[in-house]
Amino acid sequence: YKRFEALENQFKAGLSAPPPEQPKATETDSQSTRTTVLNELKELFQKRKKVNY
């Protein structure tokens, strides 16, 4: 469960701040990355629900 929280924090950090190696990503890049992260977050929450209940 702690590992899920660490992953979630990583996702949130990735959402709030762009990766340092990509200071000037195009809008489409950042949008697709954000979409991918959101999809991964959804999967993460689904897995966490299965673990919790």
**Cα torsion angle, 25, 27, 29, 33, sign:** positive
- Give the gyration radius of the chain's Cα atoms: 13
Identify the pLDDT of residue 22.
47
Token pair in block for residue 8: 């979630």
Question: For position 23, what pLDDT does the model report?
Answer: 46
Distance (Å, rounded) from C-alpha 48 to C-alpha 53?
9
Q: What is the pLDDT of residue 44?
A: 79
The pTM (predicted TM-score) of the whole model is 0.35
Could you tell me the two tokens for 38? 């959101």
Per-residue model confidence as pLDDT tens digits over 1-53: 677 787 777 776 665 555 555 445 455 566 667 677 778 878 878 777 776 55
Name the strand (E) or helix (H) holding 40: helix 27-52
